[in-house]
Structure formats: C-alpha cells, structure tokens
Amino acid sequence: MSLGKAARSLVSPLRGALRCSGLSRSYTAAAAARAVLEHELETIRAAGTWKAERIITSKQGPEISVDGSRGSILNFCANNYLGLSSHPEVVQAGIDALKTHGAGLSSVRFICGTQDLHKKLEQKLAEFHEREDCILYASCFDANAGLFEVLLGPDDAVLSDELNHASIIDGIRLCRAKRLRYKHMDLGDLETKLKEAQSSRMRLVVTDGVFSMDGDVAPLRGICDLAEQYGAMVFIDECHATGFLGPRGRGTDELLGVMDRVHIINSTLGKALGGAAGGYTVGPKPLIDLLRQRSRPYLFSNALPPPVVGSATRAVELLLASNEIAQSMTAKTMRFRNKMTQAGFTIAGSAHPICPVMLGDARLASLMADDMLKLGVYVIGFSYPVVPKGKARIRVQISAAHTDEDIDRCVDAFIQTGRKHGVIS
C-alpha cells in the first residue's frame, strides 16, 4: 500500500468520527434548548397566562364565526372601533387597488416601492391630523421603532410615561438619548424629570394618547403646559384614539384641545382606519424628510401592499367627509360601562371604548372568557406580561357597529358568567 493510501485510510475514519461527534454535540444542544423552552411553556400554562389563539372563519365585524363554536358570535374584542374593516366601500377600495396596482411591490420604498397610492394616503393622513407631512410604515410598532433613534442623540433627553406601549419602550431603547421615566400620568413627576433634563439639547415628552390596557386618557393639556414651560416637544401614540376621539375623530389632541401644541403623532391603520395593517408618523416636514433618509424600519421594509393602502385611504376619506360614525361611539360606550357598573363589575378607565373588566386573577380571566364564548360572546382574558401581575382583566372593546341589543346581550352574558365564578352576587 502506498504512503498516500495509508494516510487516507487513517484520516477517513477520523473525519467520520469527528463528524459524528459534531452531530452528537449539535443534537445535544438542540435537545437541551428544547427542554428549556418546554419548561418555560409549562410555566406559562401553570400560571394560567397561556394565550391561545381562537380561529375566526369569517370576516371581521360585530358578529363573527369562530372555529369550534356554533352559530354567530358577538365580537367584543377587536380594535375595529368604527366597524370599517368590513365596510363595503373600504373593502371595494382594496379590491380596486389590487386590480390596478397589484398584490405588492416586492421592494422597499426608495428602490422601486413607492406608488401614487402611497403618496395619496400620506397626503390624506397629514390632512386628517392637520400636520405638514406623513410617512407610512409597515406597522405602528415600526413607526415607534424608527422615530427616536433618528430624532434624538446623546445630547438629548426623552421623558416617557412608565406605562407606555411596548413598541414605544423598544423604540426608545434604540436611541442614545438620556432616558427619564415618569410615573403614570403624574404631572408632578414629569415636571421633576423635565427639570433634570434642562441641560439636554432637545427634550421630548413621550406618551400614549390613550393607554390601551386601561382606556385612560393622557393629561395632554398639563403635559403641553409643562413642555412649553421647560422647552420640550410632545409626542403621542394615537393608535387607540385616531378616528373616533374628539368631535371630528382626530384623536386625543383634538379631544383635549391641544392639536396645535402636540408636535409629533404616530398612529396605525390597523384599528379604526380599516383594520388591515400599517402605521405612520405625522409631524413637521423636516422630520418626515429625515425619517425617509434614516429610519431603518422604513428603509429596510417592503412598501405597504396596494390593497391595504387602498382600503385605508377610503377609510380616511369617509372620516374626512363626515364625523357621524365617530360621534356614535360615546353613547354606546357609556351604555356598556353604566350597565356593567350597575351589575357590580369594576370597569377601569373612563368614557373610552376600551372597557377593561377588572378581575385580578389570570386564571379567572381566562375561564370567564371561555365561558363567555359558550354564551355567544367573544372576549379575551388579558394577563401578565400584557398587563402587570395581579391586574388580569377581560378587555371589552365597543365598536360603532355594535347595536344596543348587542351591548345588552354582552352585559347579560357577563352577569351570568360573573355569578357563576363568584365575581358578582
């Protein structure tokens, strides 16, 4: 045997052994990771905070079909505040855009992903909010992720409400500004933090307009007063206000009379404005121009699909033409809140279509939601980490599409379920 053949005869088994050893280590690592993941999942189940996904087999609306349930189910869980996600004109606009502009752009905006539809929607949204310009994102989560690191640097300061949405918190983490967190809706603590930030180049106060878990409205008048006193700008996230709060549905800033004092607004197309997907920033034109140049979620995400843009554009046009839909919300919201309070339930927030039925215990919230579904009402239990521990609730959301009879049926189901579980007598 030649020396080369002898060497190869020795090396080949060695390589095989090394390969087997590498595979063994790989399988061992995967098995260990799987065990860790399964333990974590079991911990979630044991705590009663498992979030199961129910399967809807119909379009979104006040009545839906749910897999495993018989008959039509009343839906009191969607963020479809104005009922526009299945509005005939909104749906038709999406169909028309699909036919004329295709299913998608296969590209980001600055390469070859901007259509006339996108520019039209941005113009409509800027008009709706009475701001200079607008930029679209794939979601409001992306809008929040893309704003702060562009606007703020290490010489600046951001002052954030402690209960701001997770997307705001994540977006702020990406920027290099000094971060100060003030107590929830506490103007005294905000002033203290503003005083601490006086040495910063720019100061930005950041708050949800409406806090989605409790339905409470930020004290924007007081925030704007302090911002002006201490030379700060004001940012609000309006996902749970755009389209229905305020006399014309413009949002929290209109409701509280500070539209000309709030500088930057982020909001969503995925709730009141058609319910599909997409988010946006409206504000000063120089800011919007800079976001188009540097905002990473905008630069590196595909353009919004034409059907989504078409549907959202029609939703905004309907609201620009009339405030009738927005104005119908107040009476329906108060009907539910008053009847539930009279029945003995504790409802958080005030005068907002988000109506959290406070229960405290995560397992109780989940069980009651399951029992409500059996009675023909779709609601979901919210628990940690979506809300703080000990603050579990069923978050009911009223829609302009709900009738008084729908609301009364929902209240009756709550009373029956609440008595079964000892929540009310």
Q: How many CB atoms lie within 10 A of CB 84?
A: 29
pLDDT the model gives residue 374: 96
Question: For residues 146 and 114, what is the distance between their CA atoms, to the nearest angstrom?
Answer: 18
Do 7 and 1 contact (CB within 8 A), yes or no?
no
Tell me if 201 sits within 8 A of 220, measured CB to CB: no
Q: In this structure, what DSSP letter does residue 305 have?
A: P
CA pair distance 73, 69, nearest whole angstrom: 8
The span from the CA of 402 to the CA of 61, in Å, is 9
Name the percent of the chain in helix, strand, coil, to the closest 5.
Answer: 50, 15, 35
Predicted TM-score (pTM) of the model is 0.89
**Cα(142)–Cα(5) distance, integer angstroms:** 61
Active site residues: 212, 240, 271
Are β-strands 354-360 and 392-397 bridged in parallel, bridged antiparallel, or unpaired?
A: antiparallel
Tell me how far apart the alpha carbons of residues 81 and 294 are, in angstroms, rounded to a whole number. 33
- CB-CB contact of 214 with 357 (8 Å): no
Report the alpha-carbon distance of residue 115 to residue 172 in Å, rounded: 31
Here the tokens at position 197 are 């930030």
**pLDDT reported for residue 48:** 75
- pLDDT, position 7: 45
Asked whether 230 and 198 are in contact (CB, 8 A), the reply is: yes
Rounded-to-integer distance, Cα 76 and Cα 66, Å: 13
- Digitized pLDDT (tens) for each residue of the chain, 425 residues in all: 454 454 445 445 545 554 566 667 777 888 899 999 999 999 988 887 788 889 999 999 999 999 988 889 999 999 999 999 999 999 999 999 999 999 999 999 999 999 999 999 999 999 999 999 999 999 999 999 999 999 999 999 999 999 999 999 999 999 999 999 999 999 999 999 999 999 999 999 999 999 988 899 999 999 999 999 999 999 999 999 999 999 999 999 999 999 999 999 999 999 999 999 999 999 999 999 999 999 999 999 999 999 999 999 999 999 999 988 888 888 999 999 999 999 999 999 888 999 999 999 999 999 999 999 999 999 999 988 888 889 999 999 999 999 999 999 999 999 999 999 999 99
Cα end-to-end distance, the chain, whole Å: 94
Q: Quick one: which H or E segment has residue 352?
A: none
Give the pLDDT of residue 2: 53
Burial (CB count within 10 angstroms: exposed 0-12, middle 13-18, buried 19+), residue 186: middle
Helix or strand run (H / E) with residue 142: helix 140-151
Tell me whether strands 354-360 and 279-283 are parallel, antiparallel or unpaired.
unpaired
Let me know: does 313 contact 124? Beta carbons within 8 Å.
yes
Count Cβ atoms below 10 Å from residue 148 Cβ, excluding itself.
Answer: 24
Tokens standing for residue 210: 């409406």
The rounded distance, in Å, linking the Cα atoms of 286 and 89 is 34
What are 267's strand-pairing partners?
280
Given its phi and psi angles, is residue 130 left (phi above 0), alpha (psi -120 to 50 degrees) or beta? left
CA-closest candidate to residue 323, choices 235, 253, 254: 254
Q: Which of 353, 280, 265 is nearest to 313 (CA)?
A: 280
Nearest to 200 by CA among 235, 160, 154: 154
pLDDT given for residue 384 in this prediction: 86
What's the confidence (pLDDT) of residue 3?
46
Strand pairing category for 203-208 and 178-182: unpaired
